[in-house]
């Protein structure tokens, strides 16, 4: 990856960046983004599938898992999932992003078999599946090591890992918002091991809830350290907290100013992570478009259907139309580029 900063910023320097003027920060992040990617904004044509919402864990921020606030447990059959995959492949969708809750009733094989069935039928389709939180759950539930689960994922056709489940690495905040699930160290260890297998993954950060700025910077620093070791992260994805239908009592929505500052600072701090995603699902499409000028070079994808964030209030249940997506990126002065899941360029609208 191209070196984008002359000197690394320290924790203290990164925290102090929040006190800078928003537009000054934007300019700095934009210069780094342009050095890496020019005016290109990447997206992919993808589909999310969330096969079950039955969960053994209770994360306060989650509105997706079946609970008192969402008493509609479901578990899809493999036939149902394959039916969706048949349909999306017929429409030239190139990536399927499969993430579930931590369902103790299905058995390990239910999780693994679906990847193998998809891969056998559609070897060209990229399967991005199982967060580190799911890997940890499966390892604990079925008495396996992380290595065993990761090897089973590779054997059954998982191509890359999504970045979910990272939340906030600070142990105090993490204990408060999602006690009992994968710890920060375990999350990082699982991705380290995945990268050691020559595989790529993403990394998220859930922000805008009860965390403070210093916790976001700490989160970025831990990512930067692991990336120095492995180089396996493709993309950093800050996820803006959605407040509906969950058990985390946050009254005020984070401001657009703070979201954009966080995007810009992450571009500056994460000098070794090539891509910064403005995930329109949690930021809104409009703010994601603006974020292109604050360091972001990726808008995720058309998505089609999304259940986790839309359950908590995001307007993402039905995705975005491809033509509209391309139009919006162009109109905001950037070049839309369709990419595959590993950031190879497939089509440019230059």
Return the number of the residue (28 or 57) whose C-beta is nearest ligand V47: 57
In sequence order, which ranges of 204-342 are alpha helices (DSSP H)? 213-230, 256-269, 280-283, 285-291, 322-331
Return the number of the residue (28 or 275) whose C-beta is nearest ligand V47: 275
Q: How far is the CB of 303 from ligand V47 (least distance, A)?
A: 8
Name the helix (H) or strand (E) containing 25.
helix 22-37
Q: How far is the CB of 207 from ligand V47 (least distance, A)?
A: 9
| Residues in touch with ligand V47 (CB under 6 A) | 61-63, 131, 162-165, 167, 202, 204, 206, 237, 239, 241-242, 246, 279, 282, 300, 308-309, 312
Q: How far is the CB of 164 from ligand V47 (least distance, A)?
A: 3
CA 165 to mean position of chain CA atoms: 9
Measured between alpha carbons, how far is 170 from 301 in angstroms, rounded to an integer? 29
Return the number of the residue (104 or 313) whose C-beta is nearest ligand V47: 313
The DSSP annotation for 47-116 comes to EEE--B---SS--TT-SSSSBTTB----B--HHHHHHHHHHHHHTT--EEEE-----TTS-HHHHHHHHH
Q: Coil, strand, or helix at residue 166? A: coil
The residues pairing with 201 across neighbouring beta strands, listed in sequence order, are: 161, 233
Q: How far is the CB of 347 from ligand V47 (least distance, A)?
A: 19
Return the number of the residue (28 or 191) whose C-beta is nearest ligand V47: 191
Q: How far is the CB of 153 from ligand V47 (least distance, A)?
A: 15
Return the number of the residue (28 or 215) whose C-beta is nearest ligand V47: 215
Return the number of the residue (162 or 295) whose C-beta is nearest ligand V47: 162
Residue 7 per-residue DSSP state? S
Is 15 in contact with 46 (CB distance < 8 Å)?
Answer: no
Q: How far is the CB of 331 from ligand V47 (least distance, A)?
A: 24
Q: Which residue is nearest to ligand V47 (CB)?
A: 164
Measured between alpha carbons, how far is 167 from 255 in angstroms, rounded to an integer? 19
Beta strand 345-348 with 335-339 is antiparallel
Tokens representing 28 are 């700095």
Return the number of the residue (110 or 247) whose C-beta is nearest ligand V47: 247
Q: How far is the CB of 212 from ligand V47 (least distance, A)?
A: 18
């Amino acid at each position: 990856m191209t070196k984008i900063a002359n000197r690394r910023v320290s924790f203290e320097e990164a925290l102090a960046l929040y006190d800078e003027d928003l537009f000054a920060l934007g300019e700095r992040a934009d210069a780094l983004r342009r050095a890496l990617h020019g005016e290109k904004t990447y997206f992919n044509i993808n589909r999310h599938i969330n096969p079950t919402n039955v969960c053994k864990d209770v994360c306060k921020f989650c509105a997706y898992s079946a609970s008192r606030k969402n008493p509609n447990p479901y578990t899809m059959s493999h036939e149902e999932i394959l039916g969706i995959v048949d349909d999306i492949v017929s429409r030239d969708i190139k990536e399927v992003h499969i993430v579930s809750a931590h369902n103790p009733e299905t058995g390990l094989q239910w999780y693994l078999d679906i990847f193998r069935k998809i891969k056998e039928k559609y070897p060209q389709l990229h399967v991005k599946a199982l967060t580190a939180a799911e890997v940890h759950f499966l390892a604990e539930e079925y008495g396996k090591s992380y290595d065993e689960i990761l090897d089973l994922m590779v054997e059954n056709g998982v191509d890359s890992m999504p970045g979910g489940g990272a939340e906030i690495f600070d142990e105090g905040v993490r204990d408060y918002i999602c006690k009992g699930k994968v710890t920060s160290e375990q999350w990082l260890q699982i991705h380290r091991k995945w990268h050691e297998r020559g595989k790529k993954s993403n990394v998220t950060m859930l922000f805008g809830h009860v965390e403070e700025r210093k916790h976001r910077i700490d989160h970025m620093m831990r990512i930067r350290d692991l990336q120095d070791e492995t180089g396996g992260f493709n993309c950093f994805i800050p996820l803006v907290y959605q407040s509906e239908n969950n058990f985390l009592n946050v009254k005020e929505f984070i401001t657009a100013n703070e979201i954009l500052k966080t995007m810009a600072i992450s571009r500056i701090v994460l000098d070794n992570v090539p891509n910064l995603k403005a995930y329109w699902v949690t930021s809104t499409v409009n703010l994601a478009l603006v974020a292109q000028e604050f360091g972001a070079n990726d808008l995720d994808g058309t998505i089609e259907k999304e259940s986790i964030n839309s359950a908590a209030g995001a307007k993402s249940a039905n995705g975005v139309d491809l033509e509209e997506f391309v139009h919006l990126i162009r109109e905001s002065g950037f070049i839309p580029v369709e990419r595959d899941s590993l950031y190879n360029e497939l089509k440019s609208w230059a």
